[in-house]
Structure 1
Amino acid sequence: MATLLKELPSFSTLLAAYASISAMAMLIRSILNEMVPEKMRKYIATKFTELVSIHFNSDFTFVIEDRWKAADNQIFRAAEVYLPTRVGPSSDSLLVGSNDPNDPTAPIKRSIPPDCTITDDFEGMRLKWSFSSIETKKYYVPNKRFFSLTCKKSDREKVEKKYFPYITKIAQDILNKHESLNINTYDQECSMWESAVFKHPATFETLAMEPELKQFIMDDLDAFVQRKEFFENVGRAWKRGYLLYGPPGTGKSSLVAAIANYMRYDIYDLQFQSVRNDADLRRILTSTSNRSILLIEDIDCSTNVSRDRAKPKEIVEEEEDDEPGPNRSAFDPGVTLSGLLNFIDGLWSSCGNERIIIFTTNHKDKLDPALLRPGRMDVHIYMGYCTPAGFRKLSTTYLGIKDDKLFGSIDDLLKSVEVTPAEVAQQLMISEEPKVALNGLIEFLNMKKNKVEENEAEEEEKSSKEKEAKKKKKTVERQNSMQAAETDTRCIYLT
């Protein structure tokens, strides 16, 4: 050992060697800087770094952003659903909450917060997930969100071919088992959809509609779900458009809720006030999920581009002046009718499957014909005033009775008075005693009938007065004309 120690160079010798090597390295570096162009130096440095990484770093990272091209990244969505189920002792944080105001005791829901790390095992592989969210500088650009999945380089191909399809399938199974539905609204500030639990009690059984119409809608929905291959064979996007039109209070929103409950589809309620331009509209609509309902309510009030372009400009301006100011300017002028139609029935309509698009309006005559044609609004459903059949459904729902001797009087009044199902339901809710509620409804209908008759009498009297005034005006004009003619005759005679 002593002999070995004696053979080792001294510290001063090592220091001198180090100084010589450093000086030589600095000299070579200076020569390279002078002789080799900067781009070439960067290229050499990059290749050297890659070479070192290949031999000394065995990890590989997949980056999964929330958007892929112009649509939502389906792998990102699958990870959002799957990863909360894999939270274990090794996880350092977890986002929890509940968005069900109807049931405060409902089980909490899990989500992944930024900078959270989750470890998952799959077929002998140890996989490490992390979630990141980067805030953008522009307020109208959404935050950049992405997952990072780290694995061994030798497992890269296995992750792509087996693991990603696995988590996609598990996520879809989880979504299919969800008992509750969600209603989503678009948050312009955060540039993303926000959801809440949707628990509307409306069903086709409770709707105050004609039985034939309800059956027609259910049959149409059933046919839509079962005709996936038909849509593919004819080269059309798998979607269905409905237009619900009629006076306010006739049950348009209740029908939407009934369709959602019947189909078990989530609802995306789009308010055009939150849309800035066509590009923003495309991004918003392509971020909706499959098997969902896109709802655009009161489209005649939400946007000027939906109006009938065939009407004279003066008539359109007169109609706009009759509406409230906020509705008239709610739609961003940068959004065009073609931008909306392109998603409903254009090339962008193919970005998604099994979607139902529902428009509602109180004034169908104000809509542009381009919005009304088949392929955009395939089914037009008139939601009219309450009929005797609708009243019987309401009486069964609210009072628990299917017949009464007062029904005949109510039927006669409903045939002569325009009253909405909402107004009838409001009267039936006055009392739980059927006799009291029915008599109150009869009194309400008689009051409305008398008011209508009074208005008609006033209109008739007004019309008579206007006719009389016009008649008197013509008489006066005739007399003035005759006097003028007589004066002219006298002047001619004197001359």
Structure 2
Amino acid sequence: MTMMMPMKTMMGGETWANIGSAAAGVMFLWAMFRQYFPHELRQPIEKYAKELMSLFYPYIHVTFHEYSSDGRFERSKLYIAIERYLAENSSNRAKRLKADVNYGSDTLVFSMDDHEEVIDEFQNVKLWWSSSHKPLQRQTITVFPGEDEKRFYRLKFHKKNRDLVTTTYLKHVLDEGKAIAVRTRQRKLYTNCKSVERNGRFGYQRMWSHVKFEHPSNFNTLAMDPIKKKEIIDDLIKFSQSKDYYTQIGKAWKRGYLLYGPPGTGKSSMIAAMANLLEYDVYDLELTAVKDNTELRKLLIDMSSKSIVVIEDIDCSLDLTGQRKKKEEDKEKEKAKEKDPAKIMKSGDKDSKVTLSGLLNFIDGLWSASGGERIIIFTTNYVEKLDPALVRRGRMDKHVELSYCGFDAFKILAKNYMDLDSHSLFPTIEEKLKQVNMTPADVAENLMPKSEEDDAYSCLEGLVNALDKAKEDAIKLKAEKEAKQKKKEEEEVKKDGENAIAIGEEEVKQNGLASHD
């Protein structure tokens, strides 16, 4: 017995050595085969060799590339979903990890390192994920990351589970990846790039630039009528949960809001509060930087879903105020351009060619259905200037007037700025707010302490004085307008009288000449 153990050990070692030698020999012959045999001869042999191996190899491999092979310079959505899924569900089982920090965040994100493999389990079925990359054989210089190296994930599973993986598991991974993106995404504030800024080297185009969206406004701090505020909140929540309803009625999943009112009534704060409530990105679209209708459609396509598209001061952005015919000054400009072709080129480069028709198609035309789950907001100080076709129901579904500060809005501001629910000066302020038009922005400015010595009473007293002054200014302005109007009427009466006298004198003169004749 004492001699059998070493002998078995020796025989085991010799067996493994023989297997290793045989494997090395096979690899050497395979390398020689691939090097010296022409491709035309290798191809059928390799094909039959793979078919022979598949008879004995029980696993299936599926590869997911980071960049698609159709020439688009954007990462595969499926690859991104897998990356997020594995980072959250499998990275804790990997021995080698990569660490990174998402843009605009201080949180570390871990993912599988190259050539690492992890095991995932789904409905009692084991699956193996690995991450790898294939460097290019030649050295290139490019601005596109997808050209530097070919990164990919590879999924391995037993062939008996093929139907489960292809029909259920991969859908589960994609859905989970999307859900993780919603939970962890950093919301952004976008603005469209000008044409001259967007065209970079090698034809690369960047339609939007962005920063982290950090506006603190929310509906709790928004100074407006509580009933109107609740109505807007309910409408927004209902919209965000109505995907199936919009599909059922055959409408694109979008909603238009028209916010109008005097400057300082909180239109921008309302937009930020809507974005924070729904957790949407915000796209601040500057129409004057858009070259033409085609570029406007490209911007729309490049927007993400779960977003708010904002066009502020729509009455000032372009000539979209209902004046569909060219003005006289435009006609004169066109005549000048015809005389000087160089001037046409210069003017064409500067002027936006976005039309009312193009904007209407952007809002609710065929192109507007791309993306989904989108809110479009127009703001204006002068709603009466807008073309009725632009703000009709179906385009701007909900019209919200943001007016001067009432007492309910004031109480919200007092709570926000001074943490006050009541005060002895509240009744006085309530009465004065009924008599004077003051925007929430002006009221808020008066509630802010001007020095360390200012307390709640001094701030409220300052607001009372400001309301009194605003009332005096309003009375004075009204008197000036009435005096100006009265003077204008007197001048018109005087002018009419002078015209009547002149006409009378002319008639007398004509009659005298007629009598003389």
Both structures adopt the same fold (TM-score exceeding 0.5):
yes
Output the amino acid matched with 2:460. Answer: L
Residue number in structure 1 paired with 2:238: 223
* Partner SS, residue 379 of structure 2: strand
CA distance in 2: counterparts of 1:383 and 1:204, whole angstroms: 14
Among the aligned pairs, what percent are the same residue? 34
CA distance in 2: counterparts of 1:132 and 1:95, whole angstroms: 21
Output the amino acid matched with 2:188. Answer: N
Q: 1:64 to 1:344 in 2, by over 3 A?
A: farther
Query: What's the TM-score once normalised by structure 1's chain length?
Result: 0.71
- Residue 308 of structure 1 pairs with residue 322 of structure 2: yes
Residue number in structure 2 paired with 1:437: 459
CA distance in 2: counterparts of 1:316 and 1:355, whole angstroms: 38
Q: Is the 8 A contact 2:281 2:308 kept in 1?
A: yes
1:217: how far off? 0.8
Q: 1:437 to 1:361 in 2, by over 3 A?
A: same
Q: 1:206 to 1:53 in 2, by over 3 A?
A: farther
For 1:412-423, list aligned pairs within 5 A.
412-423=431-442
CA-to-aligned-CA distance 1:248-299 (integer Å, 9 cap, x gap): 2111111112222222333333333554444443343233333332333223
- Equivalent position to 1:471, from 493, 505, 508: 493
Question: How many residues align structurally?
Answer: 429
For 1:259-274, list aligned pairs within 5 A.
259-274=274-289
Query: What's the TM-score once normalised by structure 2's chain length?
Result: 0.68
- Equivalent position to 1:284, from 299, 310, 334: 299
For 1:284-363, list aligned pairs within 5 A.
284-304=299-319, 306-309=320-323, 313-314=326-327, 333-363=352-382
CA distance in 2: counterparts of 1:175 and 1:493, whole angstroms: 99
Is the deviation greater in 266-275 or in 462-471? 266-275
Q: 1:132 to 1:307 in 2, by over 3 A?
A: farther
Q: Is the 8 A contact 1:303 1:330 kept in 2?
A: no
CA distance in 1: counterparts of 2:466 and 2:101, whole angstroms: 50
- Residue 427 of structure 1 pairs with residue 427 of structure 2: no
CA distance in 2: counterparts of 1:384 and 1:462, whole angstroms: 28
CA distance in 1: counterparts of 2:310 and 2:46, whole angstroms: 52
1:427: how far off? 0.9
- Equivalent position to 1:458, from 468, 476, 480: 480
Output the amino acid matched with 2:306. Answer: R
Residue number in structure 2 paired with 1:149: 152
Q: Is the 8 A contact 1:208 1:391 kept in 2?
A: yes
* Partner SS, residue 184 of structure 2: coil
Q: Is the 8 A contact 1:245 1:364 kept in 2?
A: yes
- Equivalent position to 1:257, from 272, 287, 293: 272
- Residue 376 of structure 1 pairs with residue 395 of structure 2: yes
- Equivalent position to 1:78, from 78, 81, 85: 81
1:340: how far off? 3.7
Residue number in structure 2 paired with 1:107: 107
Q: Is the 8 A contact 1:184 1:195 kept in 2?
A: yes
Q: Is the 8 A contact 1:302 1:330 kept in 2?
A: no
1:351: how far off? 2.5
* Partner SS, residue 357 of structure 1: strand
Residue number in structure 2 paired with 1:103: none
Q: 1:395 to 1:161 in 2, by over 3 A?
A: same
CA distance in 1: counterparts of 2:223 and 2:264, whole angstroms: 12
CA distance in 1: counterparts of 2:399 and 2:310, whole angstroms: 15
Q: Is the 8 A contact 2:128 2:157 kept in 1?
A: no
CA distance in 2: counterparts of 1:147 and 1:284, whole angstroms: 29
Q: Is the 8 A contact 2:127 2:156 kept in 1?
A: no
1:436: how far off? 0.9
Q: 1:329 to 1:240 in 2, by over 3 A?
A: farther
CA distance in 2: counterparts of 1:329 and 1:477, whole angstroms: 49
Q: Is the 8 A contact 2:117 2:131 kept in 1?
A: yes
Q: 1:130 to 1:205 in 2, by over 3 A?
A: same
Output the amino acid matched with 2:183. Answer: K
- Residue 408 of structure 1 pairs with residue 430 of structure 2: no
1:127: how far off? 3.2
CA distance in 2: counterparts of 1:471 and 1:232, whole angstroms: 65
Q: Is the 8 A contact 1:135 1:144 kept in 2?
A: no
1:422: how far off? 0.8
Q: Is the 8 A contact 2:66 2:75 kept in 1?
A: no
Residue number in structure 2 paired with 1:240: 255
- Residue 128 of structure 1 pairs with residue 128 of structure 2: no
- Equivalent position to 1:211, from 202, 205, 226: 226
Unpaired runs of 5+ residues, structure 1, are 1-21, 26-44, 101-105, 319-327
- Equivalent position to 1:480, from 480, 502, 505: 502
* Partner SS, residue 396 of structure 2: coil
- Residue 388 of structure 1 pairs with residue 388 of structure 2: no
Unpaired runs of 5+ residues, structure 2, are 1-35, 54-60, 120-125, 199-204, 332-346
* Partner SS, residue 384 of structure 1: coil
1:50: how far off? 5.6
CA-to-aligned-CA distance 1:209-238 (integer Å, 9 cap, x gap): 111101111121232233333222212222
CA distance in 2: counterparts of 1:449 and 1:285, whole angstroms: 46
Q: Is the 8 A contact 1:269 1:294 kept in 2?
A: yes
* Partner SS, residue 376 of structure 2: strand
1:459: how far off? 2.0
CA distance in 2: counterparts of 1:329 and 1:424, whole angstroms: 45
Q: Is the 8 A contact 1:185 1:194 kept in 2?
A: yes
Residue number in structure 2 paired with 1:174: 180
CA distance in 2: counterparts of 1:466 and 1:184, whole angstroms: 50
CA distance in 2: counterparts of 1:70 and 1:283, whole angstroms: 16
Residue number in structure 2 paired with 1:30: none
